[in-house]
Structure 1
Amino acid sequence: MTLALFLIDDLPSGPFTLDGPEGRHAAAVRRLRVGEELLVSDGRGAVAHCVVAAAGRDSLDLTITRRWDEPPPSPRVIIAQALAKGDRGELAVELATEAGADEIIPWRAACSITKWDDGPRGDKALTKWRATVREAAKQARRAWIPIVTEPMSTRALVDKAREVALTLVLEAGRSTRMAEVELPESGDVLLIVGPEGGITEDEINAFEQARSRAVRLGPAVLRTSTAAAVALGAIGVRTARWR
């Protein structure tokens, strides 16, 4: 059975106490006891294999038996996920995180039904995405927690597309298949996923002027909540990310 992973801000080099929300979850919910094993990570590549030395009501005293650093995946994959209605946006970032996204950009697309404002409601939605990503990273036993940036406009995303090694705009109905595109072995790959209403021609034209390519994943039309995860799987098997 795969060991549970817990996240802390800084990973020590010697024995330490796992407390706070993670310690409470490990001791009271997972009910880990003396002698049981677990993984602890700082979410920035450092991982430790630990054994429980003592268990309290809401904390665990841990001994580190092995510690290592996992290199970041290459190429890095950035997901620009259009804001989606209901819980589809959260589902999209959850699946993308489990599939290996390294960075997630909330995109204010023209056809997005949901609109995040710059006030408390927008902050609350962004906080929810970040919490979803953190929990999904733990579920997937990932040593690297994806970054969730501030929301971007189309203009800002076009500027981002100019900075990366490759940008792919996922759009059903395009003649070019993603499988036909040569993928870089290093650098950043930006995947742009549209909302339920699709990506407008003006948006696609703007991205293409920034050296982006509009592609389709396959014959099926995917929901905005699943497209990124499927694309990440395709990139994973075609590059060194999953080797």
Structure 2
Amino acid sequence: MAKRANQVIQRLEKQLDEFQPQAENLDETIERVKALNVTAQNLIAIYSQEIQPLASSVKSFSSQLKVLAEQVNQLNTITTAADFGSESELAQTPNQRTAAILTVISDATKAEQRLIQARNKTTVFFQFAGGHREQAEALSAALKAKGYYVPGEDREGGAARKHEVRYFHLDDKETAERLADEATAALQSLGYSDHDVLNVVAESFISYRGKKPRPGVVELWLEIPPR
């Protein structure tokens, strides 16, 4: 019996030795997957914070240039007509030209301001547990109305029993705290009571040693009570 037990133990030890490299490779694979996920998040953030607003701005400026070209043609027509008109018509032409130019400048300035506002939007990656997707989408809509960019809602088991906003850079601390307060207020406005949902709080992940999201990106981890 003892001999058989020793044989079983030796066989188990051999299997453990053989599995060890695989376990190490598994840990490494998990870390790589996490890093790839963060890279994907960063690419989404770059698109939402820079590329998408830039494309919108270019489209807006193109539209403004088209308007300007049309106005210049109209002004040329006015000027040409005024050459053969009365002195009062000649006096009106510079004023019309000035008004048209000021309008284009104003529109271009507004387009630039929209670009700046879009770039300054905080990207929020939303991980949730519990509840239904419709509930998570309702919260996302409330946060979007507050000016946040929320790419989507990811169901994540790790969000169970969590009510936190994670920030990874010191410059995002105030933003995370504001988001935590606004998420709490949004949940209350959606009909959740204090008994259902604890206050959302900001949690520092500045010392996190893994790959971090880029500045301007925070994460909302939330368990949503089922309804």
Larger radius of gyration: 2
Tell me whether the two structures share a fold, i.e. TM-score over 0.5.
no
Greater fraction helix: 2
Q: What is the TM-score normalised by the length of structure 1? A: 0.26
**More relative contact order, 1 or 2 (CA 8 Å, 6+ apart):** 2
Q: What is the TM-score normalised by the length of structure 2? A: 0.27
